[in-house]
Chains A and B, each alone.
Chain A
Amino acid sequence: MTDNTQNADDMNFILGEEAPKEQKKEKKEKKVEKEKKLQFKPGCGVDVGTSNIVVARQTEDGTFVNRFHRDMLYPLDVSDESADLLERSDYLYVKVNNKYYIVGEDALKLVNAIGKGEIIRPMKDGLLNPSLQESSELLFYIIKAVVGEPIVEGEPLRFSVPANPLDKDIDNTFHQMILQNFFTKLGYSAKPVNEAMCVAYDCNPLMKSDEGDVPLSGICLSFGGGMVNIALMYKGLELNSFAITKSGDDIDEKVSRVTGMAQSKIVKAKEKMFDLTNVDMSDRVQAALSIYYDEMINRVIYMVSREFVEKSSEMDGEIEIVIAGGSSMPKGFCDKFNVNLKESDIPFKIYQTRHSSNPFHSVSQGASIRAQADYAKLNKK
């Protein structure tokens, strides 16, 4: 961790680019005030992702309000210079012992501007990174500040958890317990919910059968930062769910390795301008991103098909596939997925592949819908 720590002197020049602290603070206060006035329905959904924490609540008029923050940290030694830097800037930080940890988007901003050091990721492969106990604790700071307090006593909260992956020996039990305890401590009635099922609750895949359209039936895929989560469901019941490792972060890491560019810069390039329908192969980053995206899509479809064939999965109708997740956001992703799907051995009749209208927020929104159902169930009793 010490190697990543930066001297405050290195980053003083960045201060000039920042808006005045007071002005930003005022804006933020207004935003919070406005949000408080909204009437939320009880039922909080939290997507605890490898790259971002997204919290969703729905208002009475049906609007989802999604609050999101990157779960990243950038360590900075405590010194007069760093204290001065933080005093003059509006970077958000947590101070633990003799270190400041700049949190979220600011961490990414700083590392890109300075060009050295690495940001710390408290999550790995969709789970709390077990090798970073201190930053896991810091992650709770971030989550707490994004989630806020329950709006009714014991408000139901659902947090997304990945399924156990097919291709790596990882068990998510401990991760689930930690988060459940954490949210319970905040005053929520918290339960885990499968990440891919959240996509189904948000997007409602339909199966076409002799009975007509069957709701909440089909396949959902959530392409997250750490893993790809997949679920097959029928009338809202989870029939099979699993995950596949090596998703968006893995692509960033590989592209960084072959191009020699810092991973944080690859993330920015991918999120800002990458388009799978228009790849400039003379640009090394774009070319590498395109190659590794192809590899991921191919591998995922192969493994999904193999899993369903091995489990002899069947559905009595033509189904829909819904795709969501931050790593599915480059333009043309679904078209590439479809091309590969047509050549696969997937044992279902598929009438269409649909991209979620809010791929980045589907998991949190679906979790909120599940939490609202918990609240409705409580009130029925």
Chain B
Amino acid sequence: MQYVNGKRRPEPGRHIETVKTIETVEKTKIIEKEIVKELDVKAVADAVIEAISGKISNNSIQINDTSINKDKFKEFDASGSLEKMAKEMVVQRGNSESNFDDLGQVKKTKKDNDATGKTIDILSGLED
């Protein structure tokens, strides 16, 4: 930063923010805030949760007064989307290779067969 006659003078090439520019930015921020206020955030969140859990409403998603047609969400398939994502996650890469078929160290522990049997009897009588 340079000083000329006791006043700060920006270095050559540095952008000078005029009072007008700052005012414009502030005004834009206020307008953006007002737009956000108009959207009911909770309604949006609920709609997303419903869509993800496959409970998308039959006709449309309501965001305050704005109706959004379901057709506009065609690219978002809500039917079992979580399960679909989970299935996709377990697809392994075709070009992977490894130098093992089985893994792991083995530790054996002796258990009383009768005791285990009793526990199995109790558990097989219970609902899941």
Contact = CB atoms under 8 A, between A and B. Distances in A.
Interface in B15-46: none
B105 A69 contact: yes
B108 to A, nearest CB: 5
Given A185-B90, A373-B120, A66 B98 contact: no
Nearest to B106: A67
Contacts of B86: 174, 177-178, 180-181
Contacts of A68: 104-105, 107
Given A136-B89, A140-B90, A191-B128, A215 B122 contact: yes
A63 B120 contact: no
Contact of B97 (A35, A94, A137, A145): A94
A178 B89 CA distance: 7
A182 B98 CA distance: 19
Interface in A320-379: 357-358, 360-361, 365, 369-370, 372-374, 376-377
B104 A377 contact: no
A140 B103 CA distance: 12
Nearest to A56: B109
A234 B52 CA distance: 35
B116 interface: yes
Nearest to A173: B82
Interface residues of B, number: 39
B103 A103 contact: yes
A373 B124 contact: yes
A232 to B, nearest CB: 16
Contact of A178 (B90, B92, B113, B118): B90
A32 B99 CA distance: 16
Nearest to B89: A178
Contacts of A141: 92, 96, 98
Contacts of A180: 86
A374 B100 CA distance: 31
Contacts, number: 139
Given A31-B106, A68-B107, A177-B82, A95 B96 contact: yes
B119 A137 contact: no
Contacts of A380: 124
Contacts of B82: 173-174, 177
Interface string A46-82: 0000000101001001111111110000000000000
B109 A216 contact: no
B103 A145 contact: yes
Interface in B34-82: 82
Nearest to A53: B104
Interface residues of A, number: 63
A159 interface: no
A35 B98 CA distance: 22
A63 B104 contact: no
Interface string A98-113: 0000011100000000
A94 B106 contact: no
A146 B124 contact: no
A105 B90 CA distance: 23
A120 B107 CA distance: 25
A235 interface: yes
- Residue of A133, A181, A237 contacting most chain B CB atoms (<10 Å): A181
A235 B122 contact: yes
B100 A140 contact: no
Given A68-B104, A376-B124, A94 B96 contact: yes
Going nearest first, the 6 A-B pairs with the smallest beta carbon separation are A373-B123, A62-B113, A177-B86, A67-B104, A145-B103, A69-B104
Interface of A: 31-32, 35, 53, 55, 58, 61-69, 86, 92-97, 103-105, 133, 136-137, 140-142, 145-146, 148, 173-174, 177-178, 180-182, 185, 191, 201, 204, 215-216, 235-237, 357-358, 360-361, 365, 369-370, 372-374, 376-377, 380
26 contacts: A62-B113, A63-B108, A64-B109, A66-B106, A67-B106, A68-B107, A69-B104, A92-B100, A93-B99, A94-B98, A95-B98, A96-B93, A96-B95, A137-B90, A141-B96, A141-B98, A145-B98, A145-B103, A178-B89, A181-B86, A191-B128, A235-B122, A236-B119, A361-B107, A369-B119, A372-B116
Given A62-B112, A182-B90, A236-B126, 16 more contacts: A31-B106, A53-B104, A65-B106, A96-B96, A103-B103, A137-B89, A137-B92, A146-B102, A178-B90, A181-B90, A204-B115, A215-B119, A236-B119, A369-B116, A369-B120, A373-B120
Interface of B: 82-83, 85-87, 89-90, 92-93, 95-113, 115-116, 118-124, 126, 128
